[in-house]
Amino acid sequence: MDDLKAHLIDQYEAWFASITSEGIGELDEVLADEWMYTNYDGWVRGKAEYLAWVAEQGPGPMFVGPYDVTLTRPGGLALVLGEYRVERLPDGSVLRLRFTGLWEERDGRWQSLTHHNTLVV
């Protein structure tokens, strides 16, 4: 399970890096076609809408993490809980976010099924 945890942490790090780079990197491969995202402010997007948002970001916020990651394996899934920060926001604030992600192995690779984050105040 430690190997899977390390692999999924690597997936999150690459995901976060792609948000502030040109294009979407390998996110199209990492996110399942039915993937859904719920943000801390109630914003809900599917894969296509999220990838379009990522492609528009360019330089700006920096995502730091994930850290404090735990992994459980219900059935053939991987449930990941952790935390990350979003820094260098236009107003100078830093967001601290807890997240839950559900992953499934498909055709020998892990894909994210859903991601949800909550603002830590």
DSSP 1: -
Q: What is the mean pLDDT of residues 58-76?
A: 88
pLDDT of residue 23: 62
Distance CA 115, CA 101 (A): 4
**pLDDT, mean of residues 66-70:** 96
For residue range 79-113, list pLDDT tens digits in order: 999 999 998 877 888 999 999 999 999 999 999 99
| pTM recorded for the entire structure | 0.90
Task: Report pLDDT for 89.
Answer: 79
DSSP per-residue letters across 34-54: EEEEE-TTS-EEEHHHHHHHH
Distance of alpha carbon 27 from its chain centroid, rounded? 10
**CATH number attached to the domain at 2-119:** 3.10.450.50
Domain ranges within the chain, ordered by starting residue: 2-119
> Which pLDDT score is estimated for 34?
98
In this prediction, residue 22 carries a pLDDT of: 65
Query: Of residues 88 and 118, which shows the higher confidence score?
Result: 118
pLDDT one-digit tens code per residue, 6-51: 999 999 998 888 886 666 778 888 999 999 999 999 999 999 999 9
